[in-house]
Amino acid sequence: MRLPERVTVCEVGTRDGFQIEPDFIPTAQKIEVVDLLTEAGLPRIEVTSFVSPKAVPQLRDAEAVMAGIRRRPGTRYAALVPNDKGAARAADAGVDAIHTVVSASESHNLANVNMTIAESIAKLRAVGQIAARAGVTLQCGISTSFGCPFEGDVPVERLERVVASLVDLGAAGIGLADTTGMANPRQVTEVLERLVPRFPGVEWTLHTHDTRAMAIPNILAAMACGVTNFDASIGGLGGCPFAPGASGNVCTEDLVHCLQAMRIDTGIDLAQLIAVSRRVEQIIGRPLPGQVMKAGPSTRRYPLPDSVAARTTAS
Ligand code: COA
Ligand code: ZN
C-alpha cells in the first residue's frame, strides 16, 4: 500500500459543524474551541465562514471569532467565502487562507449560493484578485464533486471543467468535497488518477462526509493517489444546511488515530484532540459520533478478568 509519511489535516468543525447547530453557539465558546484545536497542534483550521448572515445565521460572528482567537505561528487559519464580499471581509479579518465554495452540480450550487456555476466562477474571479492583493492563499473547494443529492451522478468531465476554471482564476489548491457522502474508494481513485496529472502544481485536498461510513476508505484511496491533505471535523460534527441528507465530516480524532496507527505523522496530539471533542460535546449538549473518544485508542489495555489472571499466574 502506498502511504505518505506525513499528512496535513485541516479542522473544519467550527465552520462545517457549527454552521448547522440549531442553537447559536456563543462567540466565546467558538473562540475557545479554535484555541483548543490550535493547542492540540492542528496545522490548518477553517475557523468560520464569511457568508450572508441570512443564509447562515450561526456564523454571523465571523469577524469577532477571527479577532478573538490566539494564533500560533505555523497554523494556517482559513475561512470559507462564497463571493467577493465574503473575501473582502475575510481579508480584513486577517485570514491566512481563503477557502471558496462552488458546486460541481448546478442544482446544489443554486441551493447553496443562489448562483449558477458560471455566476459563481465570475464572483470567484474577483475573490482571486482580493486574495492576491491581500497576499493570502487561495484554496477553492468544489461541493458535490462525487455526486449530488439532487442530480445524482456528477460526470467527471463536468468536475474537470470546474477545476480548470478555478485553476485559471488563481487557485493554489483545489478541495474536492463529497458533500453528502456519496463517493466510494474506486470512484475517488478514478477521479484523482484523471485530474491530478492534468493540473500539475495544484495542491489537492479531500473533504469527506461520513454519511455512509465511506470517509476513511475514501481517504485511504486518495492517499494511494498521492493526496496528503484532508479536511476533518472534531467529533464528526458537520453537514451542509443546503444539502438534504448531509451529515458530519470524517471525525478528526478518528482520522488522526487511524493515521498514527499506520505511523503517518500529523503533528497532532491525539489525547488533546479527544479532550477537545469532549468539550465540544458539552458545548452542543449531545453526544458526537466520534468512535475513538468512546473506545479509546487501539493501544488501550484492560485488566485481565480475575479468573484468567489466576490461571496465567498459576502456569
Ligand atoms: N457576507 C455578508 N453579507 C453578504 C455576503 C457575504 N459574503 N454576500 C452577500 N451578502 C449580503 C448582501 O449584502 C445582501 O444584503 P442586504 O440584503 O442587506 O442588501 C444580501 O446578503 C443578499 O445578497 P445577494 O448578493 O443578493 O446574495 P443572495 O441572497 O443571492 O445570497 C450568498 C448569495 C452567496 C450570499 C448566500 O447564498 C450565502 O451566503 N450562501 C452561503 C452558503 C453556505 O455557507 N453554505 C454552507 C457551506 S458550503
Ligand atoms: Zn462539508
pLDDT digits (tens, 9 = 90+) for 49-70: 999 999 999 999 999 999 999 9
Q: Which atom of ligand 1 is nearest to the CA of 101?
A: 48
Find the farthest-apart pair of alpha carbons in the chain and give their distance in angstroms, rounded.
77
Compute the average pLDDT of residues 280-296.
Answer: 96
- At 176 the pLDDT is 99
Compute the average pLDDT of residues 4-25.
Answer: 97
- At 240 the pLDDT is 81
Cα gap 90→51, rounded to integer Å: 10
Q: Which residues surround ligand 2, an ion (CB under 5 A)?
A: 16
- At 2 the pLDDT is 85
**What DSSP state is assigned to residue 19?**
G
Q: Whose CA is nearest to atom 23 of ligand 1?
A: 52
| 242 Cβ below 6 A of ligand 1 | yes
Name the one residue in this structure whose C-alpha cell is 496535513. 8
Per-residue pLDDT tens for 145-186? 999 999 999 999 999 999 999 999 999 999 999 999 999 999
**What DSSP state is assigned to residue 233?**
B
**Residues in Cβ contact with 142 at an 8 Å cutoff, skipping those fewer than 6 apart:** 102, 103, 104, 159, 162, 163, 166, 174, 175, 176, 177
Please provide the size of the chain in residues: 315
- Give the lowest-confidence range in 99-103, 274-278, 306-310: 306-310
Residue 117 burial (CB count, 10 A): 21
- At 1 the pLDDT is 82
Query: pTM of the prediction?
Result: 0.97
- At 312 the pLDDT is 83
- At 315 the pLDDT is 63
Q: Give the ligand with the smallest distance to the CA of 111.
A: 1
Nearest to 213 by CA among 245, 248, 187, 241: 248
- Give the lowest-confidence range in 2-16, 18-32, 156-170, 229-243: 229-243
Compute the average pLDDT of residues 250-268.
Answer: 98
Residue 244 pLDDT grade (very low, low, confident, very high; cuts 50, 70, 90):
confident
Residue from 48, 51, 92 to probe ligand 1 pocket by mutation (most atoms less than 8 Å from CB): 51
Q: Whose CA is nearest to atom 12 of ligand 1?
A: 52
Cα gap 11→14, rounded to integer Å: 8
Cα gap 32→7, rounded to integer Å: 25
Q: pLDDT averaged over the chain?
A: 97
Per-residue pLDDT tens for 185-243? 999 999 999 999 999 999 999 999 999 999 999 999 999 999 999 999 999 998 788 88
Compute the average pLDDT of residues 113-141.
Answer: 98
CA dist list (Å): 21 to 17, 179, 241, 295:
7, 17, 10, 25
Phi and psi at 23, nearest 5°, equal -100, 145
Name the one residue in this structure whose C-alpha cell is 474508494. 185
Cα gap 97→72, rounded to integer Å: 15
C-alpha cell at 161: 471543467
Q: Which residues pair with 148 in a beta bridge?
A: 152
Cα gap 80→193, rounded to integer Å: 27
Q: Find the radius of gyration of the CA atoms of the chain.
A: 20
Instruction: Provide, rounded to the nearest whole percent, the portion of the chain with pLDDT above 90.
Output: 95
- At 95 the pLDDT is 98
Residue 313 burial (CB count, 10 A): 8
| Rounded distance from Cα 205 to ligand 2 centre (Å) | 12
pLDDT at 100 over 90: yes
